[in-house]
């Protein structure tokens, strides 16, 4: 076995792999924080060179705290989860082009988020960024999502552990028609998501856009963004993605039911109250819990 040590490199390039292969390397040793993009990983597969992160615990003791946090086992698990959620969103057509963004709060003042201008279908852990709650980038090679402000407003004003913004077609159909799906029709939607609200349109990426969610953050977990898409938040990226699925399936089902004519049958009011009691026990927010409920 011949090893080539590249632990002093921040970014591993295809050329590095090429040079190592020409030198007869069978193993490439890189730093745990090194960035390896997809072409590099593909070349490693093609050349049969084995990748080793090493020494595994070789995070320099004088590394900045945010770097240590960004490369900690906890952060690596979150990055993997964000990438898995990104693939689910893309496979379900909930994101299009480079649209949508995912984030997860890892510390009081630190959030791991997806980068700008990347499809969520094939992002890798090396693509992700670390930002603070003011939006300042702390770590990561790529620039963070331009919708970071939207995510940060939600973290500042709720107990959210993760936020997803995306454009699922049926929910977005409601958001562009100025309507919200009615509640009280399917139990899962009422318990885990609804009722949802619809914000007025603002230009994506702006402070005004991020602030449209503020009046609703404390007693919802999902919002329709006017002429745009949806935003959901939960304890983890996986759970937030479930809410997107629940909302999107609900909107699709309502639209299908219209083809049958007539109107949907409502769950009787007293049974809706039972669902609300379940929701309260699960600790899921709902505007109907507000003291000023009319």
C-alpha 59/C-alpha 39 separation (Å) is 25
Name the DSSP class of 126. Answer: G
Cβ at position 247, least distance to Zn ion in Å: 15
- CA-to-CA dists, residue 279 to 28, 183, 231, angstroms: 51, 14, 20
Q: At what angle do helices 237-258 and 169-176 cross, to 10 degrees?
A: 70
Q: Which is nearer to Zn ion, 173 or 284 (CB)?
A: 173
Distance of CA 127 to the CA centre of its chain: 13
Name the DSSP class of 58. Answer: -
Q: Which is nearer to Zn ion, 17 or 148 (CB)?
A: 148
Q: Which is nearer to Zn ion, 229 or 237 (CB)?
A: 229
Cβ at position 100, least distance to Zn ion in Å: 6
Cβ at position 146, least distance to Zn ion in Å: 9
How many residues interact with Zn ion (rule CB under 5 A)?
1
C-alpha 53/C-alpha 12 separation (Å) is 12
By C-alpha distance, which of 127, 61, 75, 63 is closest to 105? 75
Contacts of 241 (CB under 8 A, 6+ apart): 85, 88, 89, 164, 232
Draw the binding track, 229-248, toward Zn ion (x: CB under 5 A; -: no contact).
x-------------------
Cβ at position 222, least distance to Zn ion in Å: 15
Q: Which is nearer to Zn ion, 33 or 229 (CB)?
A: 229
Q: Which is nearer to Zn ion, 161 or 229 (CB)?
A: 229
Draw the binding track, 3-32, toward Zn ion (x: CB under 5 A; -: no contact).
------------------------------
Residue whose Cβ sits closest to Zn ion:
229
Half-sphere exposure of 125 (CA within 13 A, CB side): 16
Draw the binding track, 210-229, toward Zn ion (x: CB under 5 A; -: no contact).
-------------------x
Query: What are φ and ψ of residue 209, in 5° steps?
Result: -65, -50
Cβ at position 177, least distance to Zn ion in Å: 17
Q: Which is nearer to Zn ion, 181 or 229 (CB)?
A: 229
Cβ at position 205, least distance to Zn ion in Å: 9
- CA-to-CA dists, residue 171 to 82, 197, 225, 230, 231, angstroms: 22, 12, 10, 7, 11
Q: Which is nearer to Zn ion, 151 or 220 (CB)?
A: 151
C-alpha 69/C-alpha 130 separation (Å) is 9
Cβ at position 284, least distance to Zn ion in Å: 24
Range list of H helices, the chain: 14-22, 38-47, 65-70, 73-91, 148-156, 169-176, 187-192, 207-211, 237-258, 269-282
Q: Which is nearer to Zn ion, 77 or 208 (CB)?
A: 208
Cβ at position 163, least distance to Zn ion in Å: 12
- Where does this chain bind Zn ion (CB under 5 A)? 229
């Amino acid at each position: 076995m011949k090893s080539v040590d590249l632990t002093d490199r921040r970014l591993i390039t295809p050329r590095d792999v090429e040079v190592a292969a020409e030198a007869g390397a069978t193993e490439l040793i890189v730093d745990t924080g090194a960035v390896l993009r997809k072409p590099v990983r593909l070349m490693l597969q093609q050349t049969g060179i084995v990748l080793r992160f090493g020494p595994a615990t070789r995070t320099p003791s004088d590394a900045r705290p945010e770097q240590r946090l960004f490369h900690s086992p906890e952060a690596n698990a979150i990055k993997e989860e964000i990438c898995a959620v990104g693939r689910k969103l893309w496979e379900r057509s909930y994101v299009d082009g480079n649209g949508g963004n995912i984030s997860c709060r890892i510390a009081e003042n630190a959030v791991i988020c997806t980068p700008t201008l990347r499809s969520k279908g094939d992002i890798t852990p090396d693509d992700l960024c670390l930002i603070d709650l003011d939006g300042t980038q702390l770590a990561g090679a790529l620039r963070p999502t331009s919708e970071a402000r939207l995510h940060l407003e939600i973290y500042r004003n709720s107990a959210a552990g993760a936020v997803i913004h995306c454009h699922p077609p049926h929910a977005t159909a409601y958001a562009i028609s100025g309507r919200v799906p009615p509640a009280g029709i399917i139990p899962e939607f009422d318990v885990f998501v609804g009722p949802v609200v619809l914000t007025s349109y603002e230009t994506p990426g702006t402070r005004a856009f991020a602030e449209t969610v503020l009046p609703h953050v404390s007693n919802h977990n999902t919002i329709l963004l006017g002429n745009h898409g949806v935003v959901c938040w939960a304890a983890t990226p996986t759970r937030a993605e479930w809410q997107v699925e629940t909302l999107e399936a609900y909107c699709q089902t309502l639209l299908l039911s219209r083809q049958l004519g007539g109107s949907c049958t409502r769950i009787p009011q007293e049974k809706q109250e039972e669902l609300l009691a379940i929701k309260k026990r699960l600790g899921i927010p709902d505007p109907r819990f507000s003291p000023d409920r009319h």
